[in-house]
Amino acid sequence: MTEAGRLAAVRVGSWAMAVLPSEIDMTCAADVGADLGTLLGKGIAVLVADMTASSFCDTAGVQALVAVHHAARAADAQLRLVVPAATIRRAFELLEVDRVLHLYPSLDEAMADAPGSYRPSA
């Protein structure tokens, strides 16, 4: 997160992309969730959360991301997570949240997918 406690984010039309911190744990998970939720509250149809720089995500982080996913669905929007790190993807698989969250191996793939056309990656 930035010094102000906000995620670096950019918005283009009804899409937004936010860069998540290197570690998402109990010390920052609530802030990450709140910041992503704030972006959703601004009429976003697709919110891409980029975890490219993330090397760690504990259960508090997972819970925050799942909560944002549910908030996005309630707002008729979509949360897309860019998760290139094999260790984080494996943790999501073990917790079975890969069945709920929209995971992409790269930012390009997350941005190229049409809204509402998510296909789980292999």
Q: What does the pLDDT look like over 80-90, one tens digit per residue? A: 999 999 999 99
120: in domain:
no
Domain around 40? 8-112
pLDDT category, 1, cuts 50, 70, 90? very low
1: in domain:
no
Q: Which of 92, 85, 35 is nearest to 62 (CA)?
A: 92
121: in domain:
no
Q: What is the pLDDT of residue 118?
A: 53
Q: Which of 11, 30, 22, 23 is nearest to 77 (CA)?
A: 11
Helix (H, G, I), strand (E, B) or coil at 8: strand
Burial class of residue 114, CB neighbours in 10 A (0-12, 13-18, 19+): exposed
CATH number at residue 23: 3.30.750.24
Q: What is the pLDDT of residue 59?
A: 95
45: in domain:
yes
Mean pLDDT of the chain: 89
Domains held by the chain: number: 1
38: in domain:
yes
Q: What is the pLDDT of residue 42?
A: 85
Q: What is the pLDDT of residue 24?
A: 96
| pLDDT above 60 for 3 | no
Q: Write down the pTM of the prediction.
A: 0.88
70: in domain:
yes
Percent of the chain whose pLDDT exceeds 70: 89
42: in domain:
yes
100: in domain:
yes
